[in-house]
C-alpha cells in the first residue's frame, strides 16, 4: 500500500516525519510531500496533487498549529477595530489536499492527525481524528510490564489507524505460559514465526480453509454469516484465507481477539487488506481464558448479526488452564444462531513425542528458536536453545481423555513454559458434545506432512440451555 503523508513545512520535521517512519516500519510504502520526486520541477502543483491522489492508496495529513486565525466574537459590535479571539489552524493548502484525497479514496483511507486545540473547518466536524500523541500512547501500551494485557480488563481498539512499529520490551515479571504471546517481544517474534514458510505449524493451512469452506457452505449457506470473531488469530494469515473462502452475501465484519494488542492490530490490518469485502469495526485486547464473560458481553452489545467464532491452529492446544472452562464460558455467551469452528492438532498414526516435529527445538527454524529466546534475559546463539529449554517428561494437563503431547520447560527452574497438546479425535468429539454443550454439525481430519500429527476441524453449534 502506498500512503501519502502531507503536512505544512513547520510540521515536516516534527510529527509528519515520525508518522512516515512508523508507517514504513509497519511495511507500507510511503511518499511524503518533501521526498525527491513527489513534486517534480516544472510541474504545476495542483496537477501533480491530482496525479498523487490517483497513484496513492491512501493518505495521512497532519493538521498542525500552523497559522493563527483571528475572528470576532458574537458580542463584538462594529466598528470594532480589534478581533476579540484567535485560534491556531492548519495551513489552508493541507486542508485542500485532504479534500482532494478524500474525493479520490473516501474518508476511510484518508486520516487526519491533529491536536484538540486546532481549529478545523466546520464541514469536518464529526470526523474522528487521531491525537498527535497516539503513537506514543501505543508504544506506552506495548511497554507495559503487565503479562495479561492492559489494566482494567479489556481494551477495545479501532484498528484502522494503529500503524506503529513494535518497540523493545522486557520480560513480564510474573511468568505464565500466556506471557509468550504478550507484549512487544512476543508480537515481534510470533510475527516472524507465522510468516516463516518452513514453520511446521503452518502445515495443512490450505486444507483447513477448504474444509471450513465446505462445512459452512453445507450448513450455513442460508444463514449468511456476516460477522467472524477470531480467538488468538496471530497475524491473521489463516483467518484471511478462511474469510476469502467463506460463503456470504454482501460484506463481512472481522473482529480479532488477542491478549497481545499489537498482534490484534496486525491481524485486523492483514485481513482488511486481503479481502475487500471484509471490514474490521474493532478488535478486543483481552485474555479469553480468564475474561470470556466480559468479552462476550462486548460482542453481544457491539456485534449483531449471524456470527461465526473461530479458534484456529495451535491456540486451543496451547491453553494454559482448563479447556472445559474455556469451552463452557464461550458457550454461555453464544446466541442460538451462532456457530463455532474449532481447528486443533490431533494425534496421527503411531504418535510419539519424538516423532512430533515441533518437539525438537534444535531442528526448528530460527524464527521458532528466537520465539523461545525472547523470554530469557541471557541471549546466546540459537543452537544453544537445547541447553535452556527442554521437553518435560510428563504429559500436559488436560480435561480431555487420551490427550498426549508435551510441555516445554525452562531447564534452570523447571518452570513450565508452553503446553503443546495433541488430542485423540474420538475423545475430543465425545468431550465436545457431552461436556461442553455443543452439537457437532460436521468434522474433518486433515493429514499433514508429519504423519505423527494431523489436524481436526469441528463445526459446532451451541445446544439450547436446559
At residue 11 the predicted structure's pLDDT band, cuts being 50, 70 and 90, is: low
**In this predicted model, what pLDDT tens digit does every residue of 301-313 receive, in sequence order?**
878 788 999 999 9
Which CATH number among 3.40.50.300, 3.90.1150.10, 3.40.50.20, 3.40.50.10140 corresponds to the domain 2-132?
Answer: 3.40.50.10140
Whose cell is 465436545? That residue is 432
Task: Give the bridge partners for 308, in sequence order.
Answer: 228, 339
Q: CATH 3.40.50.150 in the chain: give the residue spans.
A: 177-462
The per-residue pLDDT for 181 is 63
C-alpha cell at 191: 510475527
Closest CA to 407 of 398, 394, 422: 394
Q: pLDDT at residue 2 above 50?
A: yes
Backbone φ/ψ region at 37: left (φ over 0), alpha (ψ -120 to 50), beta: left
**In this predicted model, what pLDDT tens digit does every residue of 122-143 receive, in sequence order?**
656 545 445 444 444 433 433 3
Closest CA to 236 of 260, 211, 265, 259: 265
Q: CATH 3.40.50.10140 in the chain: give the residue spans.
A: 2-132
The CATH topology of domain 177-462 is: Rossmann fold (3.40.50)
Mean per-residue pLDDT of the chain: 78
Q: Please say whether the beta carbons of 422 and 345 come within 8 A.
A: yes
The pTM for the full model equals: 0.65
Q: pLDDT at residue 318 above 50?
A: yes
| Share above pLDDT 90 across residues of the chain, in percent, rounded to a whole number | 24
Q: pLDDT at residue 249 above 50?
A: yes
Amino acid at each position: 500500500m502506498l500512503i501519502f503523508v502531507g503536512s505544512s513545512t513547520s510540521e515536516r520535521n516534527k510529527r509528519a516525519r515520525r508518522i512516515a517512519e512508523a508507517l514504513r516500519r509497519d511495511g507500507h510504502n510511503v511518499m511524503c510531500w518533501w521526498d525527491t520526486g513527489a513534486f517534480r520541477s516544472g510541474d504545476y502543483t495542483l496537477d501533480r496533487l491530482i496525479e498523487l491522489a490517483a497513484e496513492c492508496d491512501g493518505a495521512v495529513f497532519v493538521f498542525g498549529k500552523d497559522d493563527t486565525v483571528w475572528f470576532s466574537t458574537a458580542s463584538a459590535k462594529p466598528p470594532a477595530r480589534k478581533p476579540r479571539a484567535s485560534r491556531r489552524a492548519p495551513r489552508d493548502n493541507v486542508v485542500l489536499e485532504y479534500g482532494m484525497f478524500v474525493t479520490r479514496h473516501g474518508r476511510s483511507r484518508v486520516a487526519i492527525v491533529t491536536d484538540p486545540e486546532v481549529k478545523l473547518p466546520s464541514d469536518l466536524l464529526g470526523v474522528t481524528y487521531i491525537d498527535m500523541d497516539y503513537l506514543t500512547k501505543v508504544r506506552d501500551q506495548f511497554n507495559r510490564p503487565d503479562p495479561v494485557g492492559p489494566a482494567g480488563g479489556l481494551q477495545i481498539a479501532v484498528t484502522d489507524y494503529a500503524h506503529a512499529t513494535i518497540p523493545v520490551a522486557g520480560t513480564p515479571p510474573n511468568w505464565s505460559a500466556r506471557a509468550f504471546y504478550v507484549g512487544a517481544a512476543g508480537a515481534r517474534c510470533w510475527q516472524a514465526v507465522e510468516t516463516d514458510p518452513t514453520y511446521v505449524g503452518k502445515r495443512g493451512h490450505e486444507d483447513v480453509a477448504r474444509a471450513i469452506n465446505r462445512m459452512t457452505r453445507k450448513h450455513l449457506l442460508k444463514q449468511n454469516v456476516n460477522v467472524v470473531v477470531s480467538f488468538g488469530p496471530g497475524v491473521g494469515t489463516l483467518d484471511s484465507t478462511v474469510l476469502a473462502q467463506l460463503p456470504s452475501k454482501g460484506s463481512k465484519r472481522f473482529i480479532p481477539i488477542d491478549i497481545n494488542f499489537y498482534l490484534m492490530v496486525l491481524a485486523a490490518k492483514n485481513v482488511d487488506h486481503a479481502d475487500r469485502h471484509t471490514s474490521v469495526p474493532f478488535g478486543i485486547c483481552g485474555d479469553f481464558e480468564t475474561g470470556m464473560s466480559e468479552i462476550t458481553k462486548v460482542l453481544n452489545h457491539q456485534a449483531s448479526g449471524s456470527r461465526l467464532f473461530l479458534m484456529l491452529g495451535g491456540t486451543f492446544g496451547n491453553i494454559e488452564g482448563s479447556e472445559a472452562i474455556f469451552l463452557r464460558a464461550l458457550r454461555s455467551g453464544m446466541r442460538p444462531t451462532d456457530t463455532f469452528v474449532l481447528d486443533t492438532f490431533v494425534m496421527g498414526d503411531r504418535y510419539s513425542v519424538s516423532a512430533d516435529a515441533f518437539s525438537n527445538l534444535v531442528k526448528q527454524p530460527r524464527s521458532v528458536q528466537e520465539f523461545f529466546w525472547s523470554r530469557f534475559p541471557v541471549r546466546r546463539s540459537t543452537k544453544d536453545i537445547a541447553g535452556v529449554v527442554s521437553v518435560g517428561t510428563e504429559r500436559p494437563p488436560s480435561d480431555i481423555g487420551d490427550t498426549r503431547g508435551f510441555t516445554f520447560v525452562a531447564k534452570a527452574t523447571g518452570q513450565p513454559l508452553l503446553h503443546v497438546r495433541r488430542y485423540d479425535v474420538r475423545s475430543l468429539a465425545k468431550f465436545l458434545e457431552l461436556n461442553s454443550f455443543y452439537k457437532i454439525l460436521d468434522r474433518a481430519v486433515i493429514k499433514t506432512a508429519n504423519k505423527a500429527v494431523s489436524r481436526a476441524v469441528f463445526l459446532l453449534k451451541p445446544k439450547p440451555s436446559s
